[in-house]
Amino acid sequence: MSINSDYSLWFLLPCLVFAYFAARYYYAKNDWFKQQSKFLRIILRGLRTSILFLLFLILIGLIFQQTFYRKEKPILITLVDNSASMLTFKDSALIRKQVNSLQNKIKDKFKDKFELVTYSIGSDFKEQNSFNFSEESTALEKGITAIATNYYNRNVGALIFVSDGNYNVGGNPIYAAEKLNLTPVFTLGIGDTIPKKDHFIRNTVYNDVVFLKNKFPIEVDIEANRIQNKTTRLSLWQNGKLLDASTITYSNEKHQFYQHTFLVEANTPGFQVYQVRIDPIEGESTIKNNTQSIYIEVIDSRNNVMFLSAAPHPDIAAIKSAIDQNETIESRYVSTKDFNVPTKKPDLVIWHEPGVQFDDKILKYLTDNRIPVLYILGPNTPAAISNKLNLVAISNSKNQTDEVLSLYNNSFSTFEISESCRQAIGFYPPLNSKFGSVRALNPTDILLYQRIGNIAKSDPLFFFGKNSQQNYAVLYGEGIWRWKLNDFVRSTTHNNFNELINKSVNYLLIKRQDIGLSVSLPKSFTKNEPVIVSASFYNEYLEPISTPIISMVIKNEAGLTFKSQFGVSGTNYKLNAGKLAPGKYTWQASTTYKGKTYSKNGYFLIDDVQLEQNNASANHSTLKQLAIQSNGKYRFLKDYEKTLEEIASRDDIAAVQYEEKAFLSLIDLSWLLGFLVALVSLEWFLRRFKGSY
């Protein structure tokens, strides 16, 4: 023990002298004190001196340093490969028995000398003592890295690693083992290292998402062992139908690779399941790895635009010809009298003269589904219908028509218009519109103002807005087809007209976050990972809330349903549906808020990964390298007793003694403060007992 202080310890001597004389001075002029016995006077002065001296001791900041020595036993870690490939060899029946014997032997031999821990590694790294060898992937690097991280700066005496050496997830464990400084790795290998007669699909490379009508490649890598001078067939299937095939001819080499690329056209939207097959060859060790399924989502990325009107019109033809040049847009025309709720909800509706044969059910469908609309309000749309649409307010209307020119708004910044297009707008012929003053309702962005001759008006001609139901645009006039003709007369192209229409349409097609339910989950999972779904709900102020109860129904291809409910996580929702069997699933999430029902639906796939089937032979070269670079030893699992004997005889695997220092201040000693209080109390008691006040 050593003593440290903020001041020199020599200060204690003058402190003691000061305390003594301060005590004498305190009692020197006290008549009551002079009447007491000599013994009591000595006791009282001694108590007062001790009290003052202890206060000085505390204030001077004395710190006591103590040194302790802690002995830590070495840690013996056993890491067992728990993947399915451990049971694919001829000695697989003995593996469980040998691993159990190894564990029991380690416990009996080293329970007093080592701190013992056992982990498994397959898909995940975890601490456990029993093994079923059923995990569908092997991430050896993850196991070695986790040990290096969890036991950093600890006395790890040795690592016993039981494995076949094969890994199919992550990198090579040899590089991760470099982080285990000064820790010998003793590897125990299982399985046959001689390659069996087998050919299999080693790997497939493809895009998870492709677009409808596009062609996409599927690259297939084939590996063959001890199959020489043979011919087989590699084929691609979908829904039991052969799409393409290629002949493989193996040479005289014992170990061969073959690569082939299929070029496939995406003809059907949604999740598509393809199967790559390689025909079996007589005598190969297994055919489980001759087939591999591929899951690809085919997306129809085109936006669906619907034209609505009471009758065909040149304006519709002009606008349709402009947007049909965009390959990402699919358009169709529907007359208002033939309108039915479409099976596929349109992304945008262009409604020409909605006042002609106006139908309330159309307006309700558009507002309920929050579909953006481009309204073309010509002179045939009554003011009453315009007011009902909640778009514009028209005053001074006398059922007369007017011709208005267009004027570009230089302050418009919602999207960019080229300079040539701006100039062309100034030459466009007038549109026919209803006579009267026009005022836009709701917040708007005005692209074009009305113009009469050279006089600019404040009335809007073409503008964009948003109400509580949807985004919209309004063209207040009929005859836009003349703009297209004027464009061609002046420039022999329709470029300016097409730019104006397409940029306006693209702006309305932008998906914007709105009130309601939002559900997020990946499109595919493996059968080894849980299906985790996230959801959010936004109120009318676009704030995420967690008061609605959201339920979810998941259905597999056989029609079996799984019903569950989201849990609240802050202002969001989470649902863990657990691990599901391979196949295609549909889902629907729904909730009710303020009397209105909201729902979302979709589908996802559970991929039947078969990574462990690709390894027909053990990879003991990895185990040997791990042992060599760490100063350990490689052996077969059946020889584990020799490994345990070597660990027991190693001089470099020993307990470590750590020196630890503890610092203690006097003010932290509760007994010292208690002693000080006791001295003060004793002095007070003696004085009171003898009649002093």
pLDDT at 541: 63
- Exposure string of 206-229, with b = 16+ CB inside 10 Å and e = fewer, is beeebbeeeebebebebbbbbbee
Task: Name the residue among 194, 192, 191, 168 with its Cα closest to residue 86.
Answer: 191
pLDDT beyond 60 at 693:
no
475 against 529, higher pLDDT: 475
Range of lowest pLDDT (14-23, 248-257, 416-425, 610-619): 610-619
Name the β-bridge partners of 466: 471
pTM score over 0.75: no
pLDDT attached to residue 613:
61
For 214-254, the pLDDT digits (tens) are: 888 999 988 888 888 889 999 999 988 999 999 999 999 88
Spatial neighbors of 583 by CB under 8 A, at least 6 apart, are 556, 557, 605, 606
135 pLDDT band (50/70/90 cuts)? confident
Report, as an integer, the average pLDDT of 613-625.
78
What mean pLDDT value characterizes the chain?
85
Residue 539: strand, helix, or coil: coil
The reported pLDDT for the residue numbered 659 is: 74
Q: What is the mean pLDDT of residues 115-136?
A: 87
Count of beta carbons in the 10 Å neighbourhood of residue 251: 12
**Residue 397 predicted with pLDDT over 60:** no
Closest CA to 414 of 473, 483, 351, 494: 473
Looking at per-residue pLDDT, the higher value among 421 and 538 belongs to 421
Using the predicted structure, report yes or no on whether residue 59 has a pLDDT greater than 80.
no
Q: Is 557 exposed, middle or buried (0-12, 13-18, 19+ CB in 10 A)?
A: exposed
The two beta strands, 348-352 and 373-376, are parallel
Q: Give the other-Cβ count within 10 Å of 390's Cβ.
A: 16
Band of the pLDDT at 105, cuts 50, 70, 90? very high
Structure tokens at 348: 């945008």
Give 73-96 pLDDT, tens digit per residue: 899 999 999 888 887 776 666 888
Give the CATH fold of the 303-509 domain.
Answer: Rossmann fold (3.40.50)
Element (H, E) at 210: strand 209-211
313 with 270: CB under 8 angstroms? no
Say what the alpha-carbon torsion angle 237, 240, 242, 247 is, to the nearest 10 degrees. Answer: 60
User: pLDDT-based confidence at 5, cuts 50/70/90?
Assistant: low
Amino acid identity of 27? Y
Kindly state the tokens that stand for 502.
């397409």
- Token digits for 321? 């010809």
CA distance 228 to 249: 9
- Does residue 595 have a pLDDT over 60? yes
* Pair 161, 626: CB distance under 8 Å: yes
Residue 512 banded pLDDT, cuts 50, 70, 90: low
The ranges assigned to domains in the chain are 2-66+663-689, 74-193+622-654, 198-299, 303-509, 516-607
List, for residues 343-360, the tens digit of each pLDDT value.
778 989 999 999 898 888
What residues have CB less than 8 Å from 340, skipping those under 6 apart? Answer: none
CA 461 to CA 426: how far, in whole Å?
Answer: 13
CATH architecture observed for domain 74-193+622-654: 3-Layer(aba) Sandwich (3.40)
Domains 303-509 and 516-607 share a fold: no
Q: In terms of pLDDT, which residue wins out, 40 or 102?
A: 102
* E strands, 443-530, in order: 444-452, 455-466, 471-475, 516-520, 524-526
Look up the CATH number of domain 516-607: 2.60.40.2550
pLDDT at 515: 61
Looking at per-residue confidence, does 2 or 320 come out higher? Answer: 320
Who contacts 619 (Cβ-Cβ below 8 Å, separation ≥6)? Answer: 164, 165, 166, 167, 193
pLDDT for res 17: 84
CA distance 379 to 559: 54
Residue 396 has pLDDT above 70, yes or no: no
Residues ≥6 apart with Cβ < 8 Å to 299: 209, 210, 211, 212, 269
- pLDDT of 497 reads 94
Looking at the domain covering 198-299, what would its CATH class be?
mainly beta
Q: Indicate whether 174 pLDDT > 80.
A: yes
- Model confidence pLDDT, tens digit, residues 641-676: 999 999 999 888 888 777 777 777 777 777 878 888
Paired strand residues for 573: 535, 568
pLDDT of residue 530: 87
What distance in Å separates the CA atoms of residue 183 and residue 432, rounded to the nearest whole number? 88
Dump strand ranges (E) for 549-677.
551-556, 561-565, 567-569, 572-576, 583-593, 596-607, 633-636, 656-665
- Output the pLDDT for position 92: 64
pLDDT at 24 over 60: yes
Residue 527 and residue 583: Cα distance in Å, rounded? 9
